[in-house]
A and B are shown apart, each in its own frame.
Chain A
Amino acid sequence: MDESSKPTTDRAVPGFDASVAGKRAECDGGGPILGTRYAGRQEFTGTLSGEFVDHGDPPWRWYLLKDLERKPDNYADECVWCESGSVFLVDEPNRVPGRP
């Protein structure tokens, strides 16, 4: 394999995407369940702050969803990081955030 094309894991580059800042969005979220072999789904609705972090290369983009209007029962936090492919803009359902 060409080393230059090898994905990297150790970079996390923060940024700001003005094109999504302030937009309402839903996140079909979830992830691995600590200590088990399983995964679970969690759904959120809130407002994108515009902040993002690109993990590794090729970049794996994560957006910060704040002011959560919908979140799992007892979800303790006021915000959640959502993977860009799992973010659905409420008013632009066909647009994938982070892509042209």
Chain B
Amino acid sequence: MAKNPLHTPFCEMFGIEYPIIAFTHCKDVVVAVTNAGGFSVLGEAMHTPDEIAADLKWIRDRIGTKPFGVDLVLPASVPPAGGLDELKSKIPQGHRDYADMIHKKYDVPEPKGKEALHQWGGLNQQMARAQLEVLLEERVPLLASGLGNPAFILDAAHARGIKVFGLVGKTRQAKREIEAGVDGIIAQGFDAAGHTGEMGTFSIVPEVVSIAQGKPVIAAGGVTTGRHLAAALCLGAAGVWTGTLWLASRESDVDMIIKERLIASTAEDTDFSKSISGMTMRVLKCPWTTEWKKPEAPAPLPAPYQMLLSSPYIQGANDNRRGDLMTEAAGQGVSFVTAMKPARQIVMDVVDEALTTFENLTGDD
């Protein structure tokens, strides 16, 4: 083969070997994937500015000058609500009663620690601005905006040599961000873990590529194998954004109980449910998601109210390591997460399978 099909414009942009982007909340995964020749983006939406600065130093101490990225969730809409207590007071009694029924039926334990809801002031724009300041100060090579349009920060980022990518679920969002001057787009399909748009990966990726004006488009949603990588490149993507793939990796800090469930799960073991947050979110099935799908269940509340209801369940399950109750965001590609492997090996397995796929297509060897 004359040209290495895995050497894409995204590889050129950052001087990396493989167009495999690990989106993770675990610093060890960032280090392992980066040092294996891939690219990592650390999700820092929940962290304070000081925590982010400490994480960046920890990572840089282990990867040197190799490039990596940070993902922040820039809000795109904010309800005109006040503080936590005011929000909680708006939850209807019928919903409280239904949540109580679930807690009793499944003997859901109390959270051991302070409710995470109280530890984060993420309801307003100020938190996101403070997080952004750290990334600008630290000149992180890539800033990924996991939701809102990052146009307002582009000039400041570019002045510091920072590339900015936006994650979108609709083509019109991609068009808006490209016209604003982002450096690339992550086009996320319905197959993805967590909260997604309504378009499938196979549909949104080529559509965004067609309007991207040559800027790199990264395919996200359901990507867990080398065949997915090859397919994404054939759709015109310059790389793949992978999350579920790393959750069960050896370096991942996800609880071992969840790792074992991920390894045993298929796409059918995921639920696309509003019961966790009030927004449709793909997660591993658990009693909470199952109960809220029953006909007698009240309609889940919108965000952030449903999260206020589900938080004690999730935190109680996690704090007490109740495997029968726990859940985790997982994409439909979870079927191919079948072993707990080192992240480096996962990178190499995906690369090898993608190259084999291209060789099989072209007849080259």
Contacts and interface: CB of A to CB of B under 8 A. Distances in A.
Nearest to B279: A40
Contact of A41 (B197, B300, B311, B329): B197
A80 B279 contact: no
A86 B152 CA distance: 12
B279 A7 contact: no
B152 A38 contact: no
A11 to B, nearest CB: 10
A66 to B, nearest CB: 10
B115 A77 contact: no
A74 B301 contact: yes
Given A31-B147, A35-B116, A37-B45, A9 B122 contact: no
A61 B172 CA distance: 19
B141 to A, nearest CB: 16
Given A55-B126, A86-B148, A74 B299 contact: yes
B195 A38 contact: yes
Nearest to B43: A37
Contact of B78 (A5, A10, A38, A80): A80
A35 B172 contact: no
Contact of B126 (A9, A40, A73, A82): A9
Given A31-B78, A35-B311, A60-B125, A7 B153 contact: yes
Nearest to B74: A83
B345 to A, nearest CB: 25
Nearest to A75: B302
A61 B125 CA distance: 10
A83 B303 contact: no
A32 interface: yes
Interface in A1-18: 1, 5-10, 12
Interface in B155-182: 155-156, 159-160, 169-170, 172-173, 176-177, 179-180
Interface residues of A, number: 51
A35 B117 contact: yes
Classify chain B: how many residues form its interface, as a range.
35 or more
Contacts of B132: 7
A29 B194 CA distance: 16
A72 B277 contact: no
A74 to B, nearest CB: 5
Given A31-B78, A42-B77, A74 B149 contact: no
Interface string A22-58: 0000011111111111111110100000000001101
B120 A28 contact: no
A99 to B, nearest CB: 9
**Which of A27, A56, A60, A62 counts the most chain B CB atoms within 10 A?**
A60
B126 A83 contact: no
A55 to B, nearest CB: 5
A48 to B, nearest CB: 13
A40 B79 CA distance: 14
Interface string B102-133: 00000000000001110010110110011011
B303 A40 contact: yes
A34 B147 contact: no
A79 interface: yes
B77 A29 contact: yes
A33 B132 CA distance: 18
Interface string A69-100: 00111111101111111101000010010000
A41 B43 CA distance: 17
Contact of A28 (B76, B152, B281): B76
A96 B175 CA distance: 11
Contact of A31 (B25, B73, B159, B177): B73
A10 B177 contact: no
A34 B307 contact: yes
B146 A62 contact: no
Contacts of A85: 76, 148-152, 176-177, 180
A39 B166 CA distance: 14
**Which of A10, A39, A61 counts the most chain B CB atoms within 10 A?**
A39
20 contacts: A1-B160, A9-B130, A30-B77, A32-B122, A34-B308, A35-B116, A38-B45, A38-B195, A39-B146, A39-B194, A41-B279, A42-B77, A60-B153, A71-B302, A76-B302, A77-B79, A77-B80, A80-B77, A83-B149, A86-B149
Shortest 3 CB-CB contacts between residues of A and residues of B:
A29-B77, A85-B149, A40-B279
